[in-house]
Amino acid sequence: MSDGTFLVSIIGQIEYADILAPAGSSWHCKYEFVTGPDWKVIGGLEAGLSQTSNVVINGDRVVLNFPLEINFKSTNIYG
């Protein structure tokens, strides 16, 4: 970019949690992106909460299929 800034885009998905979850339990995923003072969010959400996933069989994966997308702008990769 002409003003000395650059962009970083993160696009992905939290597919599942591989834990020993008991049958009948409910799980969700809470996330937050934490950055230094030189970074600015220009698109997407800094924090979020997935839908709830119910475990049917003991030890089964907790399937979330939760999409993530966030865009940052900065002038200094170390800040």
pLDDT tens-place values along the chain, 79 residues long: 568 899 999 999 999 988 888 888 999 999 999 999 999 999 999 999 999 999 888 777 898 999 999 999 999 888 6
Query: If you write DSSP's letter for every residue of the chain in order, what string do you get?
Result: -TTS-EEEEEEEEEEEE-S-PPTT-EE--EEE----TTEEEEEE-SEEEPPPEE--STT--EEEEEEEEEEEEES-TT-
| HSE, side-chain direction, 13 A CA sphere, residue 3 | 5
Domain ranges of the chain: 6-71
Are the C-beta atoms of 7 and 71 separated by less than 8 Å? yes
Closest CA to 8 of 34, 32, 43: 43
